[in-house]
Amino acid sequence: MNRFRRTKGDYIIDFVIYAVTLVILVSTLFPFLNVLAIAFNDSSDSVKGGVGILPRIPTLDNFKELTRFPLLLQGGLISLLRTIVGTVCSLLSTCMLAYVLSRKDFIFKKFFTALFLFTMYVDSGLIPHFMVIRTFGLNNSFWVYIIPGLISAYNLILVRSFIEQLPYSLQESAFLDGANDFTVFTKIIMPLCLPVTATVGLFYAVGQWNSWFDTYLYAPFNEKITTLQYELMKILQQSMSQQGNLSQAGKLAQSQSISPLSIRMAVTVVAILPILLVYPFVQKYFVSGLTLGAVKS
Amino acid sequence: MQGTRPRKKGTLLETLYRQRFLLAMSLPFFLWVLLFCYLPLAGWGMAFQDFKLRGDVLESFFSAPFVGLKHFGDLWEDFVNQGRFFLALRNTLAMSLLLLAFGFVTPIIFALMLNEIRIKKFKRITQTISYLPHFISWVVAAGMISVMLSTEGPVNDLLIALGLTDKRITFLADQNMFWGIMTVSEIWKELGWNAIIFLAAITSVDQGLYESAEIDGAGRLRKIWYVTLPCILPVITVILIMDIGWLISVGFEKQMLLGNDMTRNASEVLDVYALKYGIGQSRYSFGTAIGMFKSVVSVVMVLIANALAKKTGETSIL
Amino acid sequence: MKTHLWKLIAVMTAVLLILSACSSPSQAPAGNNSADNQPAQNQPADNGEAPPAAEEDDKSPITFTIYGEDVIANRVEEDFKGEVSQVITADTGVTIKYQFGVGDVSEQITLMIADKNYPDFIFSRSHVSNFLDADVYIDMSPLIDQYGPNIKALYGDAYERMRDSEGHIHYLGQDFINQINEDPEDSFEIQHAVLKDQGYPEIRTLEQFKAAIKAYKEKYPEIDGQPTIGMTLTCGEGWRYFITLINPGLRALGFPDDGNFYINPETYEVSYAFSIPEIKEYYRWMNGMYNDGLIDPDAFTQTYDEYLAKIASGRVLALSDGHWEYVAGEDILSQEGKYDRTYARLPVTLSTDIKHPAYRPSAYTPTNGVGITQNCADPVRAVKFLDYLCKEETQILSAWGIEGVHWEIKDGRRQWTEAETAAQKLPGNDVKTAIGMMTYPWPTIGGGEDSNGYKFNPLDDGTVQWADYNDEAKNTLTAYGVNSWKELFPTGDQFVASEWGQAWNLWDVQPADSEFGMLLAECNDLTAQYLPMVCSASPEEFDSLWDEYLSRLDSLGVSDLGVVATKLLADNFYVHVAAE
């Protein structure tokens, strides 16, 4: 880095960069603050609209409303569990397979790569996929969150192309020392993969945490393994239907209620917060400038 | 202690034996991909049937009447007559291409810019914040975009204040603007998130290369152009090839939420059409036919993109 | 090195084994075995003998699961432990466990059928035909003959209408039995402030309606510092355009809510409503409103949240909406004491010779409701439970709660106790009491009086209504010389009753994957696309655009749609009429 001498051009570049970044910063921060503000604002006041980045009438009522749903806490635990188990399983599988596919001499390299690559694009349809899941007894089981989506071809290929960029000489010397492929993978490749592993791990983890559709399809009524996101979807749906186009009979329940808008925002906050808390810890792996050069020496 | 050293020629059996570790490390996943990704493709048979779900699925499947290419014929006829399938296909490709043209380079530029920021704290905060919209669901985001673009909203206020228009514009009612609105919203929402992978790639660039470039007297822009970009080019290429395969499936949630009946001719995409007129009408066979069509087109496009990448000498996937 | 390989293989195998062991189908959902604690002795007796007395009092604990397709209207009880629910459990031993769909349920229902994993009860709205095709429901009629005297008594004449063409009963109607005596849900609404300012003019026609809005808007271009909006709609989210854009057009012509269909009351001939020439006039009126700047330019695109925010700001002069849809915005105005900005409900139509159809009577419509599935382990107990729900005491219990706690007889009427009245203003009271929870989608009587002469339904009480009106509403009603909005509207006896019921759910009974379903969806899509365009076009373009719309409807085959719909009506509704 040329931190010693800065030219005029450098200052111009800096100015442009900071200006653009600032615009991005504001335009991405505003909606989030808006969500926070509405989530912490009085529900009937929010209906009037126009809440900016600060609540007009601060309250915790919207969140208290959420505590009425006993499955939320359990759902949170299941979500946490699936995020941890799912990320670990997927990450190990992806890296191991990626290493095998990165080996130019591997006999099935092309065949396997194509096979996995196409999984991203082929769509077998709802019913056939379900029948396979059912045949393996995965529906209504926790493992439906882990196994069918074990390897994402996208992540697999990212990791593979990262490994391919590593100098082959690193492996070669290990082979000369008599190491086998598995040892090379665990002892040499894995440590070098840290930046891409962190990234792909983040992708897997966020995917696991945010996912609700698999619960909806494969385990909608098994409360033992319901996830946080699915329960939040249920709450949202219920609050909406209070204003839905239903028959006369629906109107008989007697109560004041929190508006769907406020529920939606409170739900968004509950869903995002855990990721926000974890992110800084992951971030350091790919922002702090961990470099190949450093590892090599 | 015989070496697992590669590049040794031999018979097939010898090769298999030599690569037994590699095989052991990959065969379970081979089984997995066959069972969970390719076994269900047997269901494509439905595309050539008039499948109706009556109790047992397999029974329904084996007793459904075979209709040959009827559903594909319907799609073709619609396509030729420029009906809804044609429009949906056109809209899907148009929005995908716009997104590829603008949505693909912006995260790269953003990642390069972040990398140039020297204040570590500012860099971290910017990055964390920029990816926040990724986690806001499209329902919430669409609500905000609708408020922004309403006739009384800030965008119209701004345009009037700048004197760019004297009549307030109903953005969301104009089907000519829909693709643009869609592209901008998507870029805004995914910019930070999509930059993550490029940031990770940039961190892997050998610092030594910068130093030697500096010795050669390169400025910042030159270093980006001659060092950083070439180093992350393989990642860019790989992601580009994979994205090209997705040109035909642009998702449906955002189009459904931001589109409305007035803009349907521009906003209805293939996935929405398939959902509405396939499974929504219990027309499983028709839905399967669309899915099959999409799959084949995607795979062909990936192969073409891959071949092109190979030809130009860059990294390729296969 | 060999040992390493074996280690690796061993680990991989172990992982696979563990995964497959964990994924064995051991965790069956509650729906399957909920009634396992019931021995199979309760199978229906085919010989028609009366069951032994001991079975009548079977109160052993049992859990019934129910799937509700579109979510239960009020909030569902997660644990069935509300005050009313506890009484129900004490009486019958039954606990109800709800399962319900999220989002677009088509996929979920498809998989439920593919999995053959049904709960004990199913309540479906627009997927009834999927369940019927897969033969999911049992035929309840023999069981009701044996165990369901209260079911027959509650439904009365409507009972026979629930049979299909083969005489089977698959589900009990969910709509209120007996219409109730409340203010109209759907009408044209205008702020009290506008009426007051104009000296409470007579407003019967669309032209008078428009004149009042226009005059007020010109006089007050701003309300509370924001631009006045003549009238607004919400069409930006999926189905909502039906409520504020399509239904008002049909209402203005005096058509009952038969969906997008018009049914000739003499010939039972069905036609797509928008191919009827007169309907053009409503949208011509809308077009005029739009071009005079009286309709919000965002009306056709805005979200429901934005719509409510505008109503809550008090600057929307008029609406054409269902009360249930705009009430959330109106409530804010009431909370802030801006009663003059709340809305009067008026029987506006295209011309004075058309009667507003709010109270047009229709026969009972049993197109959807709760049915018992093949998976229910104890259908007898299930029917007995439904029978219990249909009892008079249970009907009062589920609509009013517990006597002495939630309601009491005072001044010759059944009314809420003071404690309950106060509690109803608190959040979460509905869950605590569970009042009203069992009124949907379970069988419920709407209007009328019980054997003691007291009202069945809290909403069915004119005396309460007057007290509930705010001061401005009272002023308006007094100015028009009536005691309730209802009195402004033509009474039911002025109409020919719709013998077919309410055909807006006509498409619920169509066979899945049918030409009719496709055609209807395409026609509705076209309508949804053209109506906003027609409304916001310039006056000169209006006619040509309307003609374009009609010709495209024709090319889709809208006349075939009418033919099939006529047959569908005959098969599913008219047969009941003929049987009576």
- The CATH number of residue A275's host domain is 1.10.3720.10
- Asked if C441 and A249 come within 8 Å (Cβ–Cβ), the reply is yes
* Tens-place pLDDT, residues C325-377: 898 889 889 888 999 999 999 999 999 999 998 888 888 877 788 999 999 99
- Asked if B239 and A158 come within 8 Å (Cβ–Cβ), the reply is yes
- Does pLDDT of C51 surpass 70? no
Q: Domain C30-47+55-173+369-398 - what CATH class?
A: alpha beta
* A136 and A185 both lie in a single domain: yes
Tell me which residue in A93, A129, A264 faces B139 most closely, judged by beta carbons: A264
Q: Which amino acid is at C37?
A: N
> In which element (H, E) is residue C223 found?
strand C222-223
- How many domains in chain A? 2
**pLDDT of A18:** 92
* A47 and A171 both lie in a single domain: no
Find chains touching chain C: ≥3 CB pairs under 8 Å: A, B
* A134 and A166 both lie in a single domain: yes
* A280 and A192 both lie in a single domain: yes
* Residue C21 touches partner A, C-beta closer than 8 Å: no
State the pLDDT confidence band at C192, using cuts at 50, 70 and 90: very high
Cβ(B275)–Cβ(B252) under 8 Å? Answer: yes
Determine, yes or no, domain membership for A248.
Answer: no
* A131 and A21 both lie in a single domain: no
Tokens in use for C470? 């705010």
- Does pLDDT of C21 surpass 50? no
Q: Do domains C30-47+55-173+369-398 and C188-361+469-579 have the same CATH topology?
A: yes
Determine, yes or no, domain membership for A118.
Answer: yes
Q: Range of A53's domain?
A: 1-59
Cα–Cα separations (whole angstroms), residue C267 to C271, C495, C518: 11, 16, 25
What span, in angstroms and rounded, lies between the C-alpha atoms of C117 and B237?
46
Q: Which amino acid is at A168?
A: Y
Minimal CA separation from B183 to chain A, in Å: 16
* A35 and A91 both lie in a single domain: no
**pLDDT of C462:** 65
* Residue B266 touches partner C, C-beta closer than 8 Å: no
The residue from A37, A59, A81 where one domain ends is: A59
* Residue C306 touches partner A, C-beta closer than 8 Å: yes
- Does pLDDT of A254 surpass 50? no
* A149 and A81 both lie in a single domain: yes
- Taking residues C437-447, report their average pLDDT: 85
Say which residue the tokens 């930070």 belong to. Answer: B192
* Residue B53 touches partner A, C-beta closer than 8 Å: yes
* A104 and A16 both lie in a single domain: no
- Asked if B210 and A1 come within 8 Å (Cβ–Cβ), the reply is yes
Contacts of B151 in chain C (CB under 8 A): 297-298
CATH T-level fold of C188-361+469-579:
D-Maltodextrin-Binding Protein; domain 2 (3.40.190)
Does the global pTM surpass 0.90?
no
* A231 and A187 both lie in a single domain: yes
- Does pLDDT of C154 surpass 80? yes
Q: Where are the domains positioned within chain B?
A: 66-311
Alpha-carbon dihedral angle through residues C519, C520, C524, C525, given to the nearest 10 degrees: -40
Q: Where are the domains positioned within chain C?
A: 30-47+55-173+369-398, 188-361+469-579
Contacts of B188 in chain A (CB under 8 A): 27-28
Q: Annotate B242-307 with DSSP letters as a single string.
A: HHHHTTT---SHHHHHH--GGGHHHH--HHHHHHHHTGGGT-HHHHHHHHHHHHHHHHHHHHHHHH
- Does pLDDT of C576 surpass 60? no
- Taking residues C210-216, report their average pLDDT: 96
Contacts of C22 in chain A (CB under 8 A): 141-143
Q: Which CATH superfamily groups domain B66-311?
A: MetI-like (1.10.3720.10)
In the stretch 385-424 of chain C, residues with CB closer than 8 A to chain A read 399, 424
Minimal CA separation from A81 to chain C, in Å: 15
* A132 and A203 both lie in a single domain: yes
Cβ(B54)–Cβ(B60) under 8 Å? Answer: yes
Determine, yes or no, domain membership for A249.
Answer: no
Higher confidence at residue C81 or residue C206?
C206
Q: Which amino acid is at C434?
A: A
**Listed residue (A164, A70, A158, A154) closest to A116, CA to CA:** A154
Cβ(C191)–Cβ(C317) under 8 Å? Answer: yes
- Taking residues B235-264, report their average pLDDT: 89
Minimal CA separation from C526 to chain A, in Å: 22
Percent of chain C with pLDDT over 90: 42
The residue from A34, A59, A84 where one domain ends is: A59
* Residue B46 touches partner A, C-beta closer than 8 Å: yes
